[in-house]
Amino acid sequence: MKQRRSDLLRHAQKINCDVLVTFEPENLFYMTGFWGEAIGMLEKNGRTTIIAPELEVGRAKEESEDCGVVTAERGTGLISSLVKKIKNNRVCTDCQNYSVMMSLKKSVPKITSSTEPFYNSRIIKDEKEVKTLKKASKIIDEMFDVCSKKIKVGQKESELQSILMTYAMENQMFDTGYKSTLNPLIIAGGPNGALPHAQVTNRKFKKGDLIVTDLTLRYKGYVSDATRTFALGQISNQAKEAYEIVQESQRLGLKAVKPNADCRDVDSACRKYIEEKKYGKYFIHSTGHGIGLEVHELPTVSYRSQTKLQKNMAITVEPGIYIENKFGIRIEDSLIVSDRPAIMHKFTKDLVAV
């Protein structure tokens, strides 16, 4: 925790700030070890304070590391307590609420809104974070094994999701709360698989389906993300061809991951191969993204990215092919960037027919 706070302050100083204030639970957790409803404050001397409503104080004291905990009334009480502590400082905050920022600026003229110190610190994972991500990935692999044993003709997508989420929760894995979906997982059979972010439905699996199974779950705060595509019985020759193309594309992308490589070159390694095989127009999203305390965080692995990979970044590599009204295929691993990339998922990427 001491090193994290040092990194946060170093990045804050780059934008001329002495004090960091966080309202976001991910950043609060990163700064303090406590995930809850509260405001976190980190001063340039390293002193860290949590300002929390009374109902959160007990847990904040128990779960945080080397933090002072201040009790305040919810809402304006929290803001008033914060202002008393920061009003004469140069402050950076991740606050995204316009009315709260306007209120703060009246009393704290040297306050600025920026997520840079937080994301620039979080982009490199420490030893504890890597260990947590590896454990999360191991559980996801176990869930793919469950898929290989439980998927069957006539089963609903929603039924498979229930089986998988029961296993996940029994192993301390939970929904990420990702705002752009109504479901914890992506389970997409047959033509539904052609939608990269398909919602889980009551469609029943049929013989010849490809079933995209994207498991994105949180373990002790950290998100691992992996996808396997299963075949239910015999599939078409086109589907077999497309699967082999995605598999080789992903292999090439993983091979391109190394310290100092450009993120866009990883995307290019995947995309160029799919384009060479005449499926380029069916690869409709970026190759990957950073993972950590959020499902999608820095760095972005796309053709637009200007970021170079660094050791201990955590990213995904997930090319796909999506044929409207027919099928979708995605193969995805989470990995830690190193001289020999640490791919955190061991479940086979050969086509598994169930």
Residues 280 and 207 in one domain: yes
Q: How many percent of the chain have pLDDT more than 90? A: 98
d(CA 317, CA 344): 11
Structural domain harbouring 117: 2-122
Residues 27 and 162 in one domain: no
Domain boundary among 71, 101, 122: 122
* Stretch (H or E) spanning 116: helix 116-122
CATH at residue 218: 3.90.230.10
* pLDDT, tens digit (0-9, with 9 covering 90-100), for 120-149: 999 999 999 999 999 999 999 999 999 999
Confidence band, pLDDT 50/70/90 cuts, at residue 341: confident
Domain boundary among 107, 122, 137: 122
| pTM attached to this predicted model | 0.95
CA torsion sign for 139, 141, 147, 149 is: negative
Q: What total of structural domains would you count in the chain?
A: 2
CA dihedral 287, 343, 263, 248 (to 10 degrees): -50
* pLDDT, tens digit (0-9, with 9 covering 90-100), for 79-97: 999 999 998 899 999 999 9
- Averaged pLDDT for residues 60-68: 97
Q: What is the pLDDT of residue 324?
A: 97
d(CA 39, CA 97): 13
Fill in the DSSP letter of residue 205: P
CATH at residue 79: 3.40.350.10
CA torsion sign for 328, 333, 338, 339 is: negative
CA dihedral 276, 278, 280, 281 (to 10 degrees): 160
Q: What is the pLDDT of residue 340?
A: 87
d(CA 211, CA 230): 5
- Averaged pLDDT for residues 159-185: 96
Residues 44 and 98 in one domain: yes
Domain boundary among 122, 157, 179: 122
The position carrying tokens 């997982």 is 185
